[in-house]
Amino acid sequence: MSKTILYRRALPRFLLNNLWVIPVRQETPFGLKSVLRLLKKGLPLVIFPEGTRNTTKRFLLPGNPGVALLAAGSKVPVVPAFIRGAEKALPFRARMFRPGNIEIRYGKPFHFCGDYQSFTEMVMNAIGELGVAP
């Protein structure tokens, strides 16, 4: 899933379309509904619960409830993941990739439980733990 604003320029649009990224208008529920249909068909989805790139000094930004809405509506498990090094390989506003190592750590899958807010916090905590694990 990606914000529709990223589709304005030709190169990002080309890349996103070839990576099967789904454009989502954040102000409408239609993007989530189309994603729910894909999840119910058994297709995988990568979602970044923070909703944007982190350009702050904070370790993680707060999560958005979209991940909880999708987990609850589709009944599919969430697999938390932490990506380290992407901010160096493709810094914010950079036009080209830079050489570097990117590490991805995956956690154990879990299903939706509780309410949207507490589940979103659980997902973000799991991601955070992967980021500090040795």
Domain range annotation of the chain: 1-45, 47-134
Q: List Cα–Cα distances, 129 to 33, 78, 85, 124, 132, in angstroms.
A: 30, 15, 16, 9, 5
Residues 92-131 have pLDDT tens digits of 776 777 788 889 999 999 999 999 999 999 999 999 999 9
Given a cut of 70, whether residue 27 has pLDDT beyond it is no
How far is residue 39's CA from residue 37's CA, in Å, rounded to a whole number?
6
pLDDT in tens, 59-92: 888 898 889 999 999 999 999 999 888 777 777 7
CA distance 74 to 36: 6
Enter the pTM of the model: 0.77
